[in-house]
Structure 1
């Protein structure tokens, strides 16, 4: 069996080393600056080296460390390629390669979850893992009625590892912040901690997945496997044959594939809440699978992992989001500021320049200004650098913006989706897709 106490010690040591590594590199950087190297060059060098250490460390771990790494992974497009590439390689390897859980450990875990008669229902089980995740791994199997199924099995002790890692990460979060200047990691970690119990309960995940599967049953563009059986630590779903995940498209896909699957990603993200009342809130490449047509051309998009979903009050996106985005698109800065105050994004009494605020929201508005917008890593890096430039009028605005708790997961999912589109370098009719599915955004609704 897996030696959990020993692994916990190893994880603690690796995570604790992250801020120490940054401190050491900062000291070296000060020395370089005193030796004549520019402050900008020193800062860039320190951030790059810190990113490499962070990404390698999170990529080599599972549990909460990998969960946190997945949440950050979609933002790697904001980093220079030389800094983000090492982490992307580690994450892809973890998504595609089997972990150390032995076949006997898997059988024991299934028996613990389903009972001693589990072999009467799962009549064949592939001993090799088909995929690995932060808290479990997936095996191909055959259900007693002949259906090919995917069996997701939670690692023994995954609850302790996940919660323990997130506690450790919260303690060293400030040491990681130089990797993403301007991004407050504390709310992200707090949200992951708050939702950890939900993600550990496969029965709860099954309920969400089946709602999505029924809503998209027969859809010509999106595939969600139906649930076959669920327990707290074991989830059995229909097997979905695919060519691979979006990680493959990011690494080697054609432009046609990038554009096609990028557009389907946007369609699913915004159509999901309208059909199900829930938002799939885990937008990283491993959760999306490509299903080409028989002739090899780009086909449907398969969606997996419904452990992290936002159950939206009112059953859809808040209409205020659409109205605020329409105001921003039409350059109505005063209406935008008034609406943000009303929703609690800008607190009463806080003085904010409406035009500066409009410019601050450019990353969310620019993709809507063209009939088709090309998301690129270069564009995202430009936006990130602009927002974190001390000379920028909007540099201090981030401290004046409040993110209401009801919008936290929506904001992270939206930002993560943009990051994933930039990794894909996809072109999509973003404005038209929002007009189709985002309440309050269409001109006649605004």
Structure 2
């Protein structure tokens, strides 16, 4: 099995038994496995202090702040040190930070935001080897200048700033050697300890998220597919006043060259931006989410802040298109009419629509008004002309849905999430998490009326 190593790790190997034979296992692999294996040990030691008790609400009900902080530091420091699936899972989880209770949000926020935009860098010699393999031994002839120090690093690859042969400043995205095997290995191991992640939120089920990330690994590893998706987005948003998608210059399976787009990281807008900057960024993010399926036939499916920058003119720069949902016909047609029926208070139409789409199990006998009561609080952001999404609102919703004493919890247990909606649901929830981190206010309803077919009220 291949892994992503540093130069030192590549030189070190250790013997081990496999299928009755002595084989060499890279010490880097041992280090990765040891770090992941340390998670259950640390958590097990805390179980005696209360984590093993039955959880009836948020984690703060049974775990002291100090234990929570130590747990957060261990969990996210391990994820942050690893490339591959561990890093990717950490980034996926980071958008849910806004749902944490106030007393716990601080330590988690610091650990999680580190995962949104950082990872260990690949050595220059390894970078050159990938470039030679993908672009040819004369790869340097394609560039006037190439900066060996990465400008950014993430779960699958890292980005270098360079000057293309025609003088254009470009971003060169280079995939880590062995990234695919590392992703699969990490996600398998993390799947085995999925229950430990309930320290973030007891009602959070990580297994479906891990399964979905694993299913999409192959697509994300093929930069030719990413180039195709980015070209579709760039064409759809060419000249757009709110959204900037850098054009693709060149690429291969493991190297992608695009226009360089300078901007402020969205994480900086979240932490230090003015309210006007936050509101504008939130508006553009929501527009990207809902307009992509109609304009490009694609849904941007990786909404963590590390994938976005804010240009000097206020436009949202979108940097990564490795994860997309292909929706050539746009979002599923029933979504708009169902949401409109809920806002109009038509409980029977909502119940019928949910049943037709498979959200209600066969034979499920649910009260229409109870279903509407379950849904309406979630739709509060689009029930009025303007709404401020906030951590407080998200925490309130998370508590309502996750507390076993809540009627919403009972109702949620009686509903299905059809396979065709899994990715759309996960991406929508992730986008809402980022909007709540921004504490952004906008007319979300107007965005849906423009981009969600069947939602606008009939005249």
Structure 2: distance between partners of 1:369 and 1:231: 46
Mean alpha-carbon deviation: is it higher for 361-370 or for 43-52?
43-52
SS where residue 380 of structure 2 aligns?
helix
Q: Of the candidates 285, 298, 306, which is equivalent to residue 278 of structure 1?
A: 298
**TM-score, scaled to structure 2:** 0.89
For 1:365, the equivalent position in structure 2 comes to 379
SS where residue 250 of structure 2 aligns?
strand
Structure 1: distance between partners of 2:411 and 2:199: 19
Give the conservation status (yes or no) of the 8 Å contact 1:153–1:233.
yes
1:416 offset after TM fit, Å? 0.6
For 1:328, the equivalent position in structure 2 comes to 342
Structure 2: distance between partners of 1:180 and 1:41: 11
SS where residue 441 of structure 1 aligns?
coil
Structure 2: distance between partners of 1:30 and 1:201: 41
For 1:431, the equivalent position in structure 2 comes to 445
Q: Where does structure 2 lack aligned partners over 5 or more consecutive residues?
A: 11-25
1:222-281 C-alpha deviation (Å, 9 max, x unpaired): 100010111111000011121x21100111111010001111111111111111111001
1:397 offset after TM fit, Å? 2.4
| 2:87 corresponds to 1:66 | yes
Structure 2: distance between partners of 1:363 and 1:21: 37
**TM-score, scaled to structure 1:** 0.91
Q: Of the candidates 181, 199, 217, which is equivalent to residue 160 of structure 1?
A: 181
1:371-417 C-alpha deviation (Å, 9 max, x unpaired): 11101101101111111222211222222221111111100011111
| 2:325 corresponds to 1:306 | no
Give the conservation status (yes or no) of the 8 Å contact 2:91–2:115.
no
Change (3 A) 1:97 1:175: closer
For 1:410, the equivalent position in structure 2 comes to 424
| 2:227 corresponds to 1:206 | yes
Structure 1: distance between partners of 2:404 and 2:117: 41
Structure 2: distance between partners of 1:236 and 1:271: 25
- Counting only pairs closer than 5 Å after superposition, residues 345-424 of structure 1 correspond to structure 2 as 345-362=359-376, 364-424=378-438
1:439 offset after TM fit, Å? 1.0
For the aligned residue pairs, the C-alpha RMSD in angstroms reads 2.2
- Counting only pairs closer than 5 Å after superposition, residues 107-118 of structure 1 correspond to structure 2 as 107-118=128-139
Structure 1: distance between partners of 2:111 and 2:29: 20
Structure 1: distance between partners of 2:37 and 2:104: 21
Structure 2: distance between partners of 1:174 and 1:375: 29
For 2:16, the equivalent position in structure 1 comes to none
Give the conservation status (yes or no) of the 8 Å contact 1:225–1:240.
yes
Change (3 A) 1:344 1:30: closer
Q: Of the candidates 236, 261, 268, which is equivalent to residue 281 of structure 2?
A: 261
Give the conservation status (yes or no) of the 8 Å contact 2:202–2:402.
yes
| 2:255 corresponds to 1:240 | no
SS where residue 331 of structure 1 aligns?
coil
For 2:110, the equivalent position in structure 1 comes to 89
For 1:126, the equivalent position in structure 2 comes to 147
Mean alpha-carbon deviation: is it higher for 257-266 or for 55-64?
55-64
